């Protein structure tokens, strides 16, 4: 709807969609292709000059500055970073492109999960590295259901192979939260607030 508002078009043609995707992600993707130039299958990551990369970098710079300030002025004990996974640590670009950046398609998304076809979101490794080098614990709180526990660990390791041991440690420690069957009717906000509160109840300080 936002793009349609900006362009004044009720239905975007192929060239407009391609131009938007190429501008933002920096790929050679076209709707005629079955797979984009960027992604797990191609082994090509997002260009650092793409608008997507630049936007994420700005967010990360702000986050690190905020954390630096909090850690030095607030005497934080038991700090922890809480990360979402899909379109936070990993990018759903390759899954989304399979259905032309249109309506969410659960079958294609699940296929991408099962093939570990998720690349790392550009520059997010800097936040992970900040946590690991500053002895800050990490937790993963995802909207994925508990039956995707194993494939999710594989997805993260495929996206961040240099942090395999740390990711395995986070899973082994129990600092991962998946939607349980009894929670599947909850709203996303209710579920994630509950998951974060459980970490606070363990005496973690979420930074």
Angle between helical axes of 51-73 and 14-25 (0-180°, round to 10): 40
Question: What's the whole-model pTM score?
Answer: 0.84
Beta 119-120 vs 176-179: how paired, if at all? unpaired
Beta 137-145 vs 176-179: how paired, if at all? parallel
pLDDT digits (tens, 9 = 90+) for 145-167: 999 999 999 999 988 999 999 99
- Cα distances (angstroms) measured from residue 194 to each of 59, 134, 147, 173, 185: 25, 26, 19, 19, 14
Give the pLDDT band of residue 29 (cuts 50, 70, 90).
Answer: low
Rounded to the nearest 5 percent, the helix, strand and coil shares of the chain are 50, 15, 35
User: What is the predicted pLDDT for the residue at 32?
Assistant: 61
The answer to whether residues 169 and 29 touch, using CB atoms and an 8 Å cutoff, is: no
């Amino acid at each position: 709807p936002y793009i349609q508002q900006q362009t004044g078009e009720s239905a975007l043609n192929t060239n407009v969609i391609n131009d938007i995707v190429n501008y933002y992600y920096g790929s050679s993707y076209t709707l005629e292709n079955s797979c984009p130039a960027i992604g797990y299958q191609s082994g090509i990551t997002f260009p650092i000059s793409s608008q997507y990369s630049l936007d994420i970098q700005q967010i990360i710079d702000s986050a690190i500055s905020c954390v630096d300030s909090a850690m030095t002025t607030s005497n934080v004990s038991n700090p922890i970073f809480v990360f979402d996974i899909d379109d936070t640590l990993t990018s759903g670009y390759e899954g989304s492109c399979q259905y032309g950046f249109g309506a969410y398609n659960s079958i294609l998304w699940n296929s991408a999960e099962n093939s570990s076809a998720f690349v790392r979101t550009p520059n997010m490794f800097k936040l992970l590295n900040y946590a690991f080098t500053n002895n800050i614990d990490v937790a993963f709180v995802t909207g994925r259901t508990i039956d995707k526990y194993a494939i999710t660990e594989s997805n993260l390791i495929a996206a961040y192979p240099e942090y395999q041991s740390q990711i395995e440690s986070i899973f082994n420690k129990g600092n991962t939260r998946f939607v349980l069957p009894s929670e599947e009717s909850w709203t996303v906000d209710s579920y994630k607030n509950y998951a974060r509160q459980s970490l606070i109840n363990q005496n973690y300080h979420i930074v």
